[in-house]
Amino acid sequence: MARSQNKYADFEGLRERAVALRRAGYSLRQIRDELKVFNNDILNRLVEGEPPPEWTKRPRAKDDLRAKARELRLQGWTYDQIEAELGCSKGSISLWVRDLPKPERRDPTEQAKLAARKRWEHELAVREKQRQQTKEAAAGEIGALSDRDLFLVGVALYWAEGTKDKPHARRERVTFVNSDSDMIRLFLSWLDLLNVERKHITYRVMIHETADVESAEAHWADIVQADRSSFGKTTLKRHNPKTVRKNTGNDYRGCLVLTVRQSAELYRRIEGWWTGIVADAVTRLR
């Protein structure tokens, strides 16, 4: 017993050595073996106040949950709300946030509204995930388009979105107007299939005068892979102060007007193709 007490008589000297080892990155076990201190109480006293080296800290799966729980508690959330949000037990939450101030008691009506809002936000997230899964599954069902597939799609696309000839206003010219970049790309791919050369196609932007016209022109030039100098003069739509526009923001790029020069013959063929598609479809009606 006397030998054991003599071993720790120079406690301060031993502590200096332990602190130096700790700061050098030693673990408690390494310090124990180096100094031959096998009493855990004394070992802990020797390194008291010295943080353990980073490499000895084990990552804990609940560290992120703990940090989030503390963040929510500081925002005034109750244990029930944090439990519903994070899916962890109230016991764990209590341990994680017990040093934080208690939130002010809220009016029951306000709490009910908050709970309802959280449930609705969760429901919207679930619905959005299901929506995306359905879209991705449907996209995978299409596979590679044959030339005939693309041909029929293009005919229907033009008849839905392109300009049409009228008895009172002859417009036998292929002109396609759209604000959807993918629709423009699809239509150009269809024209390529029909061997329409790009040099016979003209482009013009139509956009609201309060929008970023230069950015829109650059956007459409990139979509059709053409030089902006080849574009016709942009058509600006005048602003009506009595209307509330919804097509605003950085994503608003107006519409692109795509016209095929000397395309009366092509237009007539498109109209004929469409007539043929409709005639066959009608025979399938029951």
Predicted structure pTM score:
0.58
Contacts 24+ apart (CB under 8 A), 236-245: 236/207, 236/208, 236/209, 237/206, 237/207, 237/208, 237/209, 238/209, 239/208, 239/209, 239/210, 245/208
> What pLDDT is attached to residue 1?
46
3-state SS class at 245? coil
What is the residue whose two structure tokens read 């503390």?
Answer: 70
Residue ranges of E strands in the chain: 175-178, 201-208, 235-237, 255-260
> What pLDDT is attached to residue 248?
66
Residue 273 structure tokens: 């193709």
Give phi and psi for 70, each to the nearest 5.
-65, -40
- CA distances, 280 to each of 69, 158, 214, 274 (Å): 63, 18, 46, 10
Is 69 exposed, middle or buried, given 0-12, 13-18 or 19+ CB atoms closer than 10 A? buried
- 213-224 vs 181-193: helix axis angle to the nearest 10? 30
Question: What residues does each domain of the chain span?
Answer: 2-56, 63-138, 147-283
User: How many other C-beta atoms are found inside a 10 Å radius of the C-beta of residue 37?
Assistant: 19
What is the residue whose two structure tokens read 């696309």?
Answer: 157
> What pLDDT is attached to residue 261?
94
| pLDDT by position in tens, the chain (length 286) | 444 455 666 888 888 998 999 898 888 888 888 888 888 888 888 888 888 887 766 555 567 888 898 898 888 888 888 888 888 888 888 888 888 888 777 667 877 787 788 888 889 999 999 999 999 999 999 999 999 999 999 999 999 999 998 887 778 999 999 999 999 999 999 999 999 999 999 999 999 988 888 899 999 999 999 988 889 999 998 877 666 556 666 788 999 999 999 999 999 999 999 999 999 999 988 6
Please enumerate in sequence order all residues whose Cβ is within 8 A of that of 201, keeping only pairs 6 or more positions apart, or say none: 188, 191, 258, 259, 260, 261
> What pLDDT is attached to residue 2?
45
CA-CA-CA-CA dihedral for 79, 83, 86, 92, to nearest 10: 80
Secondary structure of 171-194 in HEC code, one letter for each residue: CCCCEEEECCHHHHHHHHHHHHHC
> What pLDDT is attached to residue 263?
94
Query: What is the residue type of 44?
Result: N
